[in-house]
Amino acid sequence: MALGPCGALAAVVLLGACFKGPPMPAMDGAVMEVRRSDCSLRAGDEGYGDTVQIYWFGSGCHLIQLGDLRVLTDPFVTNGFQVFSNASDGERVKKSLGRISPPEAVLVNHAHFDHFLDAHAAMTLEEWREAEVPLWGGRTCKHLLAGWQTPGLMDRCHAIEKPGVIIDRRIGGGHLRVTAYASRHSPHFKCGLTLANGVVDQPRTTPPTLMTDFPSGEVFNYLIELRGGGKSYAVFYLGAFYDLKELPNSMPPAGTRIDVAILTAASHRNVPGYPGKHLQRLRPRHVVLNHFNTFMAEKPDEQLAILGKDFVKLGEMTRKVQEVFVRECEKYPEFEVIHIPAITRMEGKDLGRNVLRIE
């Protein structure tokens, strides 16, 4: 049966629609490989002293470890949808962060609840308190923590007054150096709007409980340089990216050696040039994507969408990253791997599943 002109047109439109689906996961010039994830290396295991291990607990919460040197970023492990209050889940903190030996430092990118809600619970874990684990972040972080009025806690909280080197010291047989770069929170919407975008300029006298009690505050990205076991690594945590034309100093200068860049996927559509321009500057060997889970549900597989809507568009973000090293393969030969990790589950003391090992 002949289609006739209208039928032929409908067929063309239909075929056109079929070809408008999502692009291939891997771009021309790239390969995506999925492999079994690793478990933690622990003291005594081969490679323990000279392998960087990265645990990811969702949002911006990572443990970055080389041998016995440990740094934790953005303490937040509480999942679940909370409407009227934002309460830290103390049990969950104990079962995750509480199973990690005390880190040398806790570094906070900004004070929104999904980066900071569990800071008090983490800082007051018995072992962390005894080890006097210090925390660095903006003044807002310190003022929020003041609300609990916990004896001794303020002595361990350091408000970063100006960007630059905040830690530079030998620890055991290793060395840890941390440099803070002032940034601004990436907009939540394309129009440039950032939610809860303010500071706390006085110490609180009660613990924060509402989502609006956690404004973004001052924002810092961190270059974490770890040395030990005869090796050194530079890990850059870009928790808040911004237009580099406006904030060129929100990241290390071009030419700084970066082994691993941890890049935030959330809101990637809302900042001009991200992540392409940022990657061209950083030129890391490894890219680790984070903050693509919505943390509204407990099961990791239910954390990529809210009510079925994919807000983060991780596939698009991954292709944007691929584009840089495919397009710039001669100018950017350092590139090795993009890691899209599963959320780390702690199964014992210093023993996690879904841990990235980078050499």
Cβ at position 113, least distance to Zn ion in Å: 8
Could you tell me the sign of the dihedral formed by the alpha carbons of 206, 207, 208, 214, in that order?
positive
Nearer to Zn ion, 184 or 227 (CB): 184
Nearer to Zn ion, 112 or 184 (CB): 112
Torsion of CA 9, 11, 13, 18, to 10 degrees: -170
Cβ at position 222, least distance to Zn ion in Å: 15
Pairing label, strands 351-358, 69-73: unpaired
Cβ at position 91, least distance to Zn ion in Å: 25
Nearer to Zn ion, 211 or 279 (CB): 211
**CA separation for the pair 167, 81 (Å, rounded):** 36
Residues numbered 101 to 160 that lie near Zn ion (CB under 5 A) are 112
Residue nearest to Zn ion according to CB distances in the complex: 112
Q: Considering the rule CB under 5 A, would residue 62 count as an interface residue with Zn ion?
A: no
**CA separation for the pair 271, 265 (Å, rounded):** 11
Cβ at position 186, least distance to Zn ion in Å: 8
**Number of chain residues interacting with Zn ion (CB under 5 A):** 1
Nearer to Zn ion, 48 or 242 (CB): 242
**CA separation for the pair 82, 85 (Å, rounded):** 6
Is the Cβ–Cβ distance between 224 and 106 less than 8 Å?
A: no
Nearer to Zn ion, 112 or 120 (CB): 112
Nearer to Zn ion, 219 or 282 (CB): 219
Cα–Cα separations (whole angstroms), residue 327 to 27, 29, 33, 280: 10, 9, 19, 11
Cβ at position 185, least distance to Zn ion in Å: 5
Residue 194 structure tokens? 């950032």
Show contacts of 122-126: CB within 8 Å, 24+ apart.
Answer: 122/72, 122/75, 122/93, 122/97, 123/75, 123/153, 123/156, 123/157, 124/148, 124/150, 124/153, 125/93, 125/94, 125/97, 125/98
Is the Cβ–Cβ distance between 345 and 328 less than 8 Å?
A: no
Residues numbered 204 to 243 that lie near Zn ion (CB under 5 A) are none
Nearer to Zn ion, 286 or 291 (CB): 291
Cβ at position 119, least distance to Zn ion in Å: 14
Pairing label, strands 260-264, 105-107: unpaired
Cβ at position 309, least distance to Zn ion in Å: 19
Nearer to Zn ion, 237 or 325 (CB): 237
Cβ at position 184, least distance to Zn ion in Å: 11
- Give the residues lining the site for Zn ion (CB under 5 A): 112
